Structure 1
């Protein structure tokens, strides 16, 4: 009989991160067992940690962005990962995606994937909402967890004008 336990915020964050990377509950369970040296949660429990994915780009509705902003206001912990697109040897790589997980103690996580190559025009209301969402998430009262330096990871994304160094 397996012992029931409550996952810590750190454990939830790592489980969801592994799941997103591997998209495979069996792999997540194996990683969990190796990392925490105890029986992993079932696949059903792992999937219950993930509520929804939202791809944020020029086609995202204002209503969804407004809901995410409201959720970001009450969420205090996030995980962050970024992806780059390789350029020619003479050019630096270009930031293409910001992946942010809203980590909550008592609610399933939400993951947003900001597709920076598909953002709307900066003068559009959708862009303004995406910008507000980013600034809400990166506000001083929130904690951002990343596999490296947060400022360094986000520096390639300043060019998109969603946030700047002062927001981080």
Structure 2
């Protein structure tokens, strides 16, 4: 028991030092974009989905991230931010894959249309990591297909270069 406690303490010390260093080097994050949060699942209304589709059609920049269940590693959440100008309200979508309507239902179609609008050829998709790594586990939900025709930007690579510089 003592050795495990000592090991945990040794692991926490470098992390605490790293956090202290970051606090000295960087100001706390303050968002510059106003945003509204929308959960997309089986209870999302047709009117809200229509508004999301209409907004996606007039947006060209999207920030994309995915999350899996930490216990099962099953794909669970897709996060999409519709990037607007700094003072415009940006939409942030949280798509809950465990709570989507059945694919064969009429309610599924607008959700698929939403992804078609996001992944169109004029869109720029910004991801943290390779797009295939992000999206491949979510193919099973049939909301989109790979490859996507959009311009893909892996911001992780750019960030690493900037940060290490």
- Normalization by structure 2: what TM-score? 0.68
The whole-number CA distance in structure 2 between the counterparts of 1:94 and 1:156 is 8
State the 4+ residue runs in structure 1 displaced beyond 4 angstroms.
none
Residue 86 of structure 1: how far off its partner (Å): 4.0
Which one is further off, 64-73 or 98-107? 98-107
- Alignment length (residue pairs): 126
The correspondence of residues 53-72 of structure 1 with structure 2, limited to 5 A, is 53-72=37-56
Q: Which runs of 5+ in 2 are unaligned?
A: 1-21, 150-165
The whole-number CA distance in structure 2 between the counterparts of 1:118 and 1:62 is 16
The whole-number CA distance in structure 1 between the counterparts of 2:96 and 2:54 is 20
The whole-number CA distance in structure 1 between the counterparts of 2:39 and 2:116 is 17
Secondary structure of 1:167 counterpart: coil
Secondary structure of 2:54 counterpart: helix
Q: Which residue of 2 aligns with 1:4?
A: none
Q: Are positions 1:155 and 2:136 aligned together?
A: yes
Residue 51 of structure 1: how far off its partner (Å): 2.7
Which one is further off, 102-111 or 73-82? 102-111
The correspondence of residues 71-90 of structure 1 with structure 2, limited to 5 A, is 71-86=55-70
